[in-house]
Amino acid sequence: MRRNADPLTIFRRLTAIPRDSGDEKEVAAYLVSFAKERGLAVSIDDAYNVIIRKPAAAGYENAPILVLQSHSDMVYVKAENSDHNYHSPLNLLEKDGFLSAQGTSLGADNGIGMALSLAILDSTDLPHPPLEVLFTTSEETGMDGAKSLSAAALKGRRMINLDSEWEGIFTVGCAGGVTPVFRRKADWETVPADYQSFKLTISGLAGGHSGVEIDKGRGNGIRMLARVIYGASSRLDARVSAMWGGSKGNAIPDSSEAVLWVKDAAGLKALAAEYDAAFRTELSASDQTVTLSIAPWEKRNRVLTGEVLQDILMLLLTIPVNVQTMSMHLKNLVESSNNIGILRCEEEAVTITCSIRSSVRSLKEMMCDQMTALAHGAHAEVEFGNDYPEWAFAVESPLRDKAAAVYEALYEKQPAMISVHAGLECGFFKERYPDMDMISAGPNLFDVHTPQERLEIASVQRVYVWLVKLLSILND
């Protein structure tokens, strides 16, 4: 029987399967059953990654293998007033050309990528090269499935990743990254006589994702706090008993606080007003609601020693922040950056957590060297964790060229090419398979990871037509 499957029908079936990150066992079983029912070879590993293989259509037997890839997990969130049970099918709504779920996230990230791949597997009359269809797990919480994939798992060296959220925009690269954490031992001493304590607060900053928004010129609450403390220390001999900022290493901190001790209270208030005015001027385009406030605070009997404070300020004022280099290949692409995301002052130590990103490995390594040198100069330690690889833009990519030509022929518009300043599974694939030729594409999604998530129905159909046409020309 001839079949030409509909990806939206398949996606609706997937929304009945609970598949929050870390809970992919049931959807993996569905994928295995899907393959076996159609007589397709299938394998599953300990991480519940699933690979389904489909032989080439007639006339394409000698074509190179093509990999179609998506991830099987989703971010399940629901509205505060929703009574939806996670283990029940999502309540789908179709309105004004969009598909959404009532009171919950939809899971089109990346369920629609899965559905596009499964529709290709389900169809019996499409021309295509040999296919390896890979479904990875736990992408949303650390890309664990991609990380654990065996180097022998894939034979193909051409891949279409279907985890993109913008139709007509092909992702052709991504940043790698690493998380440096500085630790400076805290030494304390008694507060000098006649000193008063004040709490200094910086608030009203826009914050944002340290990859996507790092080029927006937004204020970093921790860096700004260090500027004020340095000014107070050098001009008023201020001392510090507490400082705090940020909540995540990969988020631009939108607030920060410190408890300062000074002898000259009026001088501190004047200095705070001076910095408040400076910040409002500097950030008038990006952080219009920025505020620096100061208020009396409860007394403590100790402060950081002068040596420790100066070491911490040296780090906070000299660690590279924001955009470091721009790509010369792709217009407006941030190539490398760093964010100071978390500052904590605790009993034993002061810690500073950063997030380095770069689409060029040597630049990432150079910034790690910078961090190490700065740590040595500040009598601190630095450890590097959560290292993930980049996917560097390839100057030559036959798959990208063919994909773009097909899209332009179908829709009379050239697709845009972008590289994202964030980590993607493709970075792990490129590290494991250096000769893999890749692009990432998908239909229009909006408000992913929220109960307002919605999928444009017509966009799904257009992307599927493009994908089918592209497969038909990949015969060499």
Active site residues: 73, 139
**96: its two tokens:** 């004004």
Q: How far apart are CA 161 and CA 98, in angstroms?
A: 23
Give the separation between CA 336 and CA 367, rounded to whole angstroms: 9
Pairwise CA distance, residues 126 & 258, whole Å: 64
Question: Rounded to an integer, what distance in angstroms lies between the CA atom of residue 381 and that of residue 181?
Answer: 8
150 closest CA partner among 46, 72, 54:
46
Q: Is 46 exposed, middle or buried (0-12, 13-18, 19+ CB in 10 A)?
A: exposed
Among residues 415, 351, 355, which one has the least CA distance to residue 169? 415
Q: What is the distance between the alpha carbons of residues 337 and 298, in angstroms, rounded to a whole number?
A: 38
Q: Coil, strand, or helix at residue 203?
A: strand
Phi, psi (rounded to 5 degrees) for 346: -120, 180
User: 152: how many CB neighbours lie within 10 A of its CB?
Assistant: 7
Which amino acid, one-letter code, is at 228? Answer: V
| Cα–Cα distance measured from residue 30 to residue 47, given in angstroms and rounded to the nearest whole number | 15
Q: What are the residue ranges of helices labelled H in 151-293?
A: 221-236, 265-282
The answer for residues whose C-beta is within 8 angstroms of residue 331's C-beta and 6 or more apart is none
Amino acid occupying residue 188: W
Residues 6+ positions from 209 with CB-CB distance below 8 Å: 250, 251, 252, 422
Task: For residue 36, give both structure tokens.
Answer: 């076996």
3-class state of residue 148 by DSSP: helix
The two tokens of residue 72 are: 């099987």
| Dihedral-angle region of residue 449 (phi above 0 means left; psi in -120 to 50 means alpha; beta otherwise) | left
Half-sphere exposure of 217 (CA within 13 A, CB side): 9
Half-sphere exposure of 347 (CA within 13 A, CB side): 0
Measured in whole angstroms, how far is the alpha carbon of residue 432 from the centre of its chain?
A: 20
For residue 367, give the 3-state DSSP assignment: helix
Q: At what angle do helices 265-282 and 221-236 cross, to 10 degrees?
A: 140
